[in-house]
């Protein structure tokens, strides 16, 4: 998907929306039960049920139809349960599907829907719901920008691109109420990862067909996860409550999740310090303030952002068809200074596409291809035919966002100075609106562009193949083509031996770095402030505390006994 950070959307907080306090079995607030309203036993150190809610923030969605309008829905995918999910260690686990398997042909996948699964209105969740929903998200009439994710499914591309108007040609079929079969065009080893993506969720057909685009309004919204929409006060707040019909493995501890709607550019630090929020995401000045504050620094959680900032080139036209010029630019950038000085430690240097801590990460193997080396940079520039920068016309680096974020702008200004200092070349900066930048990018019309790609799922197929596998104009991100790279990522997609397939992606990434198909810059470090009473956020095996707190569906979070009622900050 790229260019988005879905974790930050769930990073902040609000004071409670009126959804009613859960019954804790007493009139004076003394807890008499360790079981919440859907039968899940609370941890021993949990606060009373009346305190089991969390206050967050988000941009107000215009719809909750996540399957076909992810951005408009502000990534509220946790309201719906997909077939498969990631656990806190980023391992694939069953959700709506209690089991799954792939046949010996490696193209026929069978999913067994969980027995007794129900929607929030009490209707059974069936394989037919998923059959209809997958065909719906591929229907070109809905203009789902992530439909291409499902092109590995047999017939999906042809249906989505209008080569056929018959949805039955899509290789998704319900054999019976509990058995779903999905056929892929060819072996696709990472297919389960695709099914964990935000848009891989069902929609309630009977509500969609009855109410159209209004089906996700509060009075009509039906969901199938541990959460249901309890209230939506337009322009103010939204509340989710536990779904009493949910019988799956990811039941929440919290009785409700309360979101306050915010505007773009909102900074929530003062409200957090005033006790109005339980968690907020922080960046820029707020992050630096939090690091230095004696109280906030103890509440600060940092974790790697599995996204990479980099630049793309129009490699089939001068001057960027010259690999030596691209390599010169790569060696002229001091990534350590960008990460630690320009961004104040809120980033780590990147020398390839895979972020630190990501499966397949191999910085030591590829670092030399783009390491900061001014002497080598000048040498490559001379080999490109521009000794000392002579003869090279001023270059223009396009930047997405008008304006871009302050951090992004500070980075490109720093790069601009580095190119002047180390290569004696002039680089001008050109801001483009996000929509214009993306349109030019799809048509491969950006000569040199600064952007970022955030993971859609934690597998190198996403970070390597999705943005870099060659595509015709109108698809993909750039015009770069490398036959061996394409061969490797295509072979990796068909390879079911995990060690072999990861090795193929690593070899492909080495080609990216050596050929300077892109200049890789840095990976951001995400930061969240979290009140001491928010528990259930443990470090996972990757050293990441994000997934433990939010995946899947906030199910691990709860409020500790020394909580907000005690008056602690």
User: Are 6-228 and 307-524 in the same CATH fold?
Assistant: no
In whole angstroms, how far apart are CA 369 and each of 51, 336, 479, 486, 497? 53, 16, 21, 20, 28
Question: Strand runs (DSSP E) across 137-200, as ranges?
Answer: 172-176, 179-183
Note the CATH number of domain 6-228.
3.90.76.10
Element (DSSP H or E) covering residue 487: helix 483-494
Question: Strand runs (DSSP E) across 234-386, as ranges?
Answer: 237-242, 256-262, 279-281, 300-304, 307-313, 347-349
Is 449 within 8 Å of 436 (Cβ atoms)? no
CA distance 558 to 410: 38
Q: Give pLDDT, residue 151.
A: 96
3-state SS, residue 280: strand
406-423 and 374-383 helices, crossing angle to 10°:
70
Nearest to 546 by CA among 263, 229, 307: 307
498-514 and 483-494 helices, crossing angle to 10°:
160
Burial class (CB in 10 A: 0-12, 13-18, 19+), 441: buried
pTM of the predicted protein model: 0.87
Whether the ω angle into residue 552 lies within 30 degrees of 0, i.e. cis, is yes
CA distance 338 to 342: 5
Q: Give pLDDT, residue 566.
A: 58
Element (DSSP H or E) covering residue 157: helix 156-160
| Cα–chain center distance at 223 | 21
Note the CATH number of domain 307-524.
3.10.105.10
Q: Give pLDDT, residue 454.
A: 92
Domain spans in the chain, listed from the N-terminal domain onward = 6-228, 307-524
In whole angstroms, how far apart are CA 157 and each of 65, 370, 481? 22, 36, 22
Walking along the chain (569 residues) 10 residues at a time, the average pLDDT comes out as 38 31 40 82 94 95 96 91 89 95 98 98 98 98 94 97 97 98 97 96 98 96 97 96 96 96 87 94 89 95 90 97 98 97 93 93 94 98 97 96 91 98 98 93 96 93 96 91 98 97 98 98 93 86 54 83 64
């Amino acid at each position: 998907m790229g260019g988005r950070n879905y974790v930050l959307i769930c990073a902040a907080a609000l004071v409670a929306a009126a959804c009613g306090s859960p019954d804790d079995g007493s009139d004076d607030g003394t807890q008499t039960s360790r079981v919440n309203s859907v039968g899940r036993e609370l941890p021993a150190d949990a606060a009373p049920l009346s305190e089991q809610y969390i206050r967050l923030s988000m941009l107000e969605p215009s719809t909750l139809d996540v399957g076909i309008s992810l951005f408009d829905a502000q990534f509220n995918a946790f309201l719906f349960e997909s077939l498969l999910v990631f656990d806190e260690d980023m391992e694939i686990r069953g959700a709506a599907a209690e089991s799954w398997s792939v046949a010996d042909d490696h193209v026929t996948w069978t999913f067994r829907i969980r027995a007794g699964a129900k929607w929030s209105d009490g209707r059974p969740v069936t394989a037919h719901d998923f059959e209809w929903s997958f065909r719906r998200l591929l229907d070109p009439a809905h203009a789902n920008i992530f439909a291409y994710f499902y092109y590995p499914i047999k017939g999906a591309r042809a249906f989505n691109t209008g080569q056929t108007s018959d949805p039955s040609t899509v290789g998704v079929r319900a054999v019976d109420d509990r058995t779903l079969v999905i056929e892929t065009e060819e072996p696709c080893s990472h297919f389960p990862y695709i099914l964990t993506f935000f848009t891989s969720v069902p929609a309630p057909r009977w509500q969609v067909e009855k109410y159209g685009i209004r089906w996700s309004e509060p009075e009509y919204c039906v969901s199938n996860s541990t959460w249901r929409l309890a209230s939506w006060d337009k322009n103010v707040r939204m509340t989710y409550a536990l779904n009493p019909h949910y019988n799956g493995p990811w039941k929440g501890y919290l009785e409700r999740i309360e979101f306050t709607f915010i505007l773009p550019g909102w900074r929530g630090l003062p409200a957090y310090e005033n006790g109005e929020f339980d968690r907020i995401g922080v960046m820029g000045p707020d992050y630096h303030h939090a690091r230095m504050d004696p109280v906030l620094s103890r509440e600060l959680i940092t974790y790697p952002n599995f996204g990479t900032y980099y630049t793309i080139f129009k490699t089939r036209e001068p001057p960027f068809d010259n690999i030596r010029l691209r390599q010169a630019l790569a060696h002229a950038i001091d990534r350590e200074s960008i990460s630690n000085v320009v961004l104040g430690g809120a980033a780590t240097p990147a020398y390839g596409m895979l972020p630190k801590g990501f499966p397949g990460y191999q910085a030591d193997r590829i670092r030399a291809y783009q390491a900061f080396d001014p002497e080598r940079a000048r040498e490559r520039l001379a080999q490109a035919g521009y000794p000392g920068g002579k003869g090279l016309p001023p270059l223009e680096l396009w930047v997405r966002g008008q304006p871009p974020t302050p951090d992004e702008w500070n980075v490109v200004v720093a790069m601009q100075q580095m190119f002047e200092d180390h290569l004696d070349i002039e680089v001008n900066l050109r801001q483009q609106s996000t929509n214009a930048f993306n349109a030019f990018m799809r048509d491969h019309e950006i000569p040199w562009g600064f952007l970022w790609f955030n993971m859609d799922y934690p597998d190198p197929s996403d970070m390597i193949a999705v943005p870099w596998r060659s595509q015709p104009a109108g698809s993909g991100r750039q015009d770069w083509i490398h036959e061996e790279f394409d061969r490797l990522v295509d072979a990796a997609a068909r390879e079911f031996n995990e060690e072999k397939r990861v090795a193929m992606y690593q070899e492909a990434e080495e080609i990216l770095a050596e050929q300077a198909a892109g200049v890789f810059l840095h990976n951001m470090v995400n930061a969240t402030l979290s009140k001491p009473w928010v528990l259930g956020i443990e470090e996972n095996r990757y050293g990441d505390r994000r997934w433990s707190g939010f995946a899947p569906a906030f199910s691990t979070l709860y409020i500790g006994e020394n909580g907000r009622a005690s008056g602690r900050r």
